[in-house]
Amino acid sequence: MADYTDYDAMVAALRGIDRLLFVSISNPAAQQVVINAAKAAGVQFIAYTSIADPQYNKFGLQDNHHQTEVAIAASGIAHTFLRNGWYLELMQDYLAAAAKNNTAPYFATHGQIAWALKREYAEAGARVIATATTLEVVTLTGEPITYQQLAEATSTAVGRDLQSTAVSRKEFTHIMAQWDISEQGAMLATSYQDYTLQGNNGEASLSPITFEKILGHPLTPIADAIKELLQ
């Protein structure tokens, strides 16, 4: 084990490793240290967890990923960029609170967003590491859905009809303040709807086909994925 920012420790940790699954963090300088250390340690292949459609604004995260992709390419190490979509776990607090309160309000009345479970992204990364691939970029995302569909899937997951209501953003914020939900959970539930509403984010054109091909099986249906998170 080693800290991404500790070059010597990273070199020591990576010696003898041929194929590296490089899990990203939001620190470009630290990620450059990992790349330099991988090269010095003789790593032959890197699979880097990037972000889907980095040509669009993704809360600013795309800049870090683009910079790291460029650095990996410049290193000369063979690589695949795993351009991951959003983790459904980001909505876990909201989904749990919706189930508890028997209502799933939303204000993103148009637009789509693609979710999948963390474990599915991890499995895909492991499969890319374990099998030779010549693809430089693979896009891993779920099927794009609306927030209304997310609310309906939550009803299915809990086995009862939740009140699924489109509200204003102001009303939604008020509801979050009344619920027993973490500040971060409320912030994520709000900000990802803002992101969905703004559009120009590439979400609607995403597809799970490549993801499922790498996994060798279908992604978990969204209702089942929600049920898994709520257990």
pTM: 0.94
Strands (E), 59-150: 78-84, 86-87, 113-116, 137-140, 144-145
Q: Say whether domain 86-115+143-203+220-231 belongs to CATH 3.90.25.10.
A: yes
pLDDT of 220 > 90? The answer is yes
Confidence band of 219 (pLDDT split at 50, 70, 90) = very high
pLDDT score for 1: 81
How far is residue 79 from each of residues 44, 49, 134, 190, measured CA to CA in Å? 8, 11, 9, 35
Residue range 45-97, pLDDT digits in tens: 999 999 999 999 999 999 999 999 999 999 999 999 999 999 999 999 999 99
Mean pLDDT confidence for 32-51: 98
Domain ranges of the chain: 86-115+143-203+220-231
Q: How many of the other CB atoms lie within 10 Å of CB of 16?
A: 9
Residue range 124-151, pLDDT digits in tens: 999 999 987 789 999 999 999 999 999 9
Cα separation, 113 vs 226, in Å, equals 15
> Which of 45, 51, 76, 85 is closest to 66 using CA atoms?
51
Collect all residues with Cβ–Cβ distance below 8 Å to 12 and sequence separation of at least 6. Answer: 2, 41
